[in-house]
């Protein structure tokens, strides 16, 4: 991966995260479209998964006081 490809990817991640934050949807879909254009399908899937995990994990940490933990426990147990 070249430095310019990494920089463009970081910019696309930032833009799609902003879109997702504003509209509440479509950021991940647009990101996946870019990633499959720029990388192989396997690499795109791994990058998308890692990006979404970090983004959603950070959002959960920021909003941890609003999480209904009883529902989390119910969903985790199946």
Among 61, 62, 54, 58, smallest CA distance to 10 is for: 54
- Quick: pLDDT tens for 1-34: 799 999 999 999 999 989 888 888 888 899 999 9
pTM: 0.74
Using the CB atoms, write b or e for 17-40: b if 16+ within 10 Å. Answer: bebbeeeeeebbeebbebbeeebe
Under DSSP, is residue 19 helix (H, G, I), strand (E, B) or coil? helix
What is the rounded CA–CA span in Å between residue 46 and residue 49? 5
Q: Where are the domains of the chain?
A: 3-77
């Amino acid at each position: 991966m070249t430095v310019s490809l990494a920089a463009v990817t970081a910019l696309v991640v930032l833009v799609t995260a902003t879109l997702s934050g504003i509209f509440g949807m479509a950021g991940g879909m647009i990101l996946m479209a870019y990633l499959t254009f720029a990388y192989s399908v396997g690499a795109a899937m791994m990058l998308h998964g890692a990006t979404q995990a970090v983004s959603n994990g950070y959002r959960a940490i920021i909003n941890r006081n609003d999480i209904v933990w009883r529902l989390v426990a119910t969903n985790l147990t199946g």
